[in-house]
């Protein structure tokens, strides 16, 4: 097991280098001068040059790249041009909110998809299977930027049950989590149904039923566990989609996470903050895929070989 973990860690190192390098190069190719935007159109040339030197933006691109890597390795992601604070501290303040929203959305998706997918597989081609298929297709077709405002209008404005936006209580988390978790639940339901259909037809399921085991035990303890490999794959991949989805959802609900911070940084051409936000999202995605690989080996120990 330690050798397996070490090999997975080594595989992630080139991915991390590629993420850092790509983000650095892309943000520097974006047209416009962040210093000019920060100081305003009427700023004196001397002030612009001094600010550019202070932030290290007057150095050659190669030197800036080496300086950025040096800072990353020391936990220093630079200083935000817009907020005049360290990028690391800004991300540390906002990251827990994004992680909270992402995990809540994942919980919503799993809580909806696992029972729905299992039920759909058990009732194949019957009326409830068809209803769940239509609902999941509708969920796939309805984007976050449309679902969010609809939920706000109905549950917050019309019924007054939940707050419109902001953070601070569990009630503030409900609508954003449903907005993000709904689309993932639709994808996951179809994957659970497909995997369970394959497992429910296996010999070991018929044997378990012949022994008189309760149907719930046969389905959830035996069949579902063996069906988890493709489900875990979808969860690992879609976790990255959830992180990307926070950019839209956090903006709609004024949620103070990294997604909303990224939008603000892009609008202000805040090089260091954009790099830091995307780097945090990318590293989280890499970490989740690493954990997914480890879960594979827990669900099916043969994968370690």
pLDDT digits (tens, 9 = 90+) for 283-293: 888 888 777 77
Q: Using only C-alpha atoms, what is the Rg of the chain?
A: 24
Query: How large a percentage of the chain has pLDDT more than 70?
Result: 91
Question: 17 is written with which tokens?
Answer: 């280098």
Count of C-beta atoms within a 10 Å radius of residue 291: 14
pLDDT tens-digit series, residues 247-277: 888 888 888 888 888 888 887 778 788 888 8
Q: What is the pLDDT of residue 236?
A: 76
Q: What is the pLDDT of residue 300?
A: 59
pLDDT tens-digit series, residues 114-137: 888 888 888 887 787 788 878 777
Burial of 254 from C-beta contacts in 10 A (0-12 / 13-18 / 19+): middle
- Mean pLDDT, the chain, whole residue set: 80
Domain boundaries, the chain: 97-304
170-185: b (≥16 Cβ within 10 Å) or e? eebbbbbbbbbbbbbb
Q: Which residue has the tokens 């397996």?
A: 4
Beta bridge partners of 79: 86
Can you spell out the DSSP letters for 83-130? T-SBHHHHHHHHHHHHHHHHHHHHHHHHHHHHHHHHHHHHTTTSHHHH
CB half-sphere exposure, 200, CA atoms < 13 A: 19
Count of C-beta atoms within a 10 Å radius of residue 96: 12
Distance CA 84, CA 89 (A): 11
pTM above 0.85, yes or no: no
Opening angle at CA 179, ends 244 and 299, nearest 5: 70
Q: Which CATH architecture has domain 97-304?
A: Orthogonal Bundle (1.10)
Q: What is the pLDDT of residue 250?
A: 86
Cβ neighbours for 247, distance < 8 A, ≥ 6 positions apart: 259, 260, 262, 263
Question: 79 is written with which tokens?
Answer: 């200083």
Distance CA 105, CA 241 (A): 11
196-221: b (≥16 Cβ within 10 Å) or e? bbebbeeeebeebbeeeeeeeebbee
pLDDT tens-digit series, residues 192-245: 888 888 888 788 888 888 888 888 888 888 788 778 877 877 787 777 777 777
């Amino acid at each position: 097991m330690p050798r397996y973990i070490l090999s997975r860690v080594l595989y992630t190192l080139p991915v991390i280098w590629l993420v850092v390098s790509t983000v650095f190069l892309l943000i520097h190719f974006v047209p416009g001068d962040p210093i000019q935007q920060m100081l305003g159109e009427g700023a004196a040339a001397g002030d612009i040059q001094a600010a550019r030197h202070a932030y290290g933006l007057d150095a050659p691109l190669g030197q800036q790249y080496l300086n950025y890597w040096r800072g990353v390795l020391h936990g220093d992601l630079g200083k935000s041009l817009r907020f005049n604070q360290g990028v690391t501290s800004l991300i540390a303040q906002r990251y827990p909110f994004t992680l909270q929203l992402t995990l809540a959305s994942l919980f919503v998706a799993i809580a909806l998809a696992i029972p729905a997918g299992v039920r759909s597989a058990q009732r194949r081609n019957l009326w409830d299977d068809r209803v769940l298929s239509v609902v999941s297709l509708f969920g796939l077709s309805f984007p976050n930027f449309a679902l969010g405002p609809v939920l706000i209008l109905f549950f917050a404005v019309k019924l007054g049950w939940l707050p419109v936006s902001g953070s601070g209580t569990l009630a503030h988390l409900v609508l954003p989590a449903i907005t993000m978790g709904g689309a993932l639940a639709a994808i996951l339901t179809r994957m659970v149904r497909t995997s369970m259909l394959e497992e429910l037809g296996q010999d070991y399921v018929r044997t378990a039923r012949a022994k008189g085991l309760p149907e719930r035990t046969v389905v959830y303890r035996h069949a579902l566990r063996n069906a988890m490999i493709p489900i875990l794959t979808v969860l690992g991949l879609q976790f990255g989609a959830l992180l990307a989805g926070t950019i839209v959802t956090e903006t709609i609900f004024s949620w103070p996470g990294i997604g909303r911070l990224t939008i603000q940084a892009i609008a202000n051409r805040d090089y260091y903050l954009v790099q830091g936000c995307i780097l945090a999202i990318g590293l989280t995605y890499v970490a989740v895929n690493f954990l997914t690989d480890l879960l594979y080996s827990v669900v099916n120990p043969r994968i370690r070989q």
